[in-house]
Amino acid sequence: MLLCVGLAGTLAACGSRTSDNVASTQGGFVSGDGGVTILAAGKRPAAPVVSGPSLTDQKTTLATKASPGKVLVLNVWGSWCAPCRAEAPELVSAAEKTKDTADFIGLNTRDLDPIPAQAFVRSFGIGYPSIYDPSGTLLLEFSDQLPPSGIPSTLVIDRDGKVAARIIGRTTEATLVGVVEDVAAGK
């Protein structure tokens, strides 16, 4: 069974936070811990659509595709990642506040055993689904948009399936809600 889940994602890098200033340029994106990069509508690359097993029911397949008319937020995380734990309540709150305009999906990566990741989801009350990617192979599909070592990271994908924004590092509810609202408004 293939469930298409829309999401606007943010992906953030585990590690020390630096300023939101430019650290380097990669494929039209500015990278830096916690930095937000928003791309103009005409300069947005198509987001890869990946699919994989659901973290909570590995017989179910999930895909990074938004529901019609919605923005998609994709958050890359791991249960072993301290910044992921710190941002989880912020993501839960942002998902609730933007539920009419955005779908959220997680991409759980590098958890070789799903049990700690499932406990993470339960512990933080995460209500949106996550794709289980223990090897990190699916994350590599986003290598043009995200550094493969950048955990946590979030992408916000517009209604046309294009990457509208990315957040490398831990994000906040206020930042994510603002980005989702802007992207949903066509900005």
* Percent of the chain clearing pLDDT 70 (strictly above): 81
Class of domain 2-17+24-184: alpha beta
pLDDT at 148: 66
pLDDT digits (tens, 9 = 90+) for 84-128: 999 999 999 999 999 999 999 999 999 999 999 999 999 999 999
Question: With 90 as the cut, is the pLDDT of residue 131 above it?
Answer: yes
- Segment (H or E) for 1: none
pLDDT at 45: 93
Nearest partner of 52 among 110, 134, 113, judged by Cα: 134
Order of strands, sheet of 102-109, starting from the edge strand that comes earlier in the sequence: 35-38, 163-168, 153-157, 71-77, 102-109, 130-133
4 three-state secondary structure: strand
Under the banding of pLDDT at 50, 70 and 90, the label for residue 160 is very high
pLDDT digits (tens, 9 = 90+) for 58-70: 899 999 988 888 9
Question: With 50 as the cut, is the pLDDT of residue 37 above it?
Answer: yes
- Count CA atoms closer than 13 A to 137's CA, side-chain side: 9
pLDDT at 108: 97
With beta carbons less than 8 A apart as the criterion, state whether 53 and 132 touch: yes
pLDDT at 179: 96
Mean pLDDT of 75-81: 96
Break the chain into its structural domains and give their ranges.
Answer: 2-17+24-184
Under the banding of pLDDT at 50, 70 and 90, the label for residue 142 is confident
pLDDT at 68: 86
Under the banding of pLDDT at 50, 70 and 90, the label for residue 145 is confident
pLDDT at 54: 97
* Percent of the chain clearing pLDDT 90 (strictly above): 67
pLDDT digits (tens, 9 = 90+) for 18-30: 333 333 333 333 3
> What mean pLDDT value characterizes the chain?
83
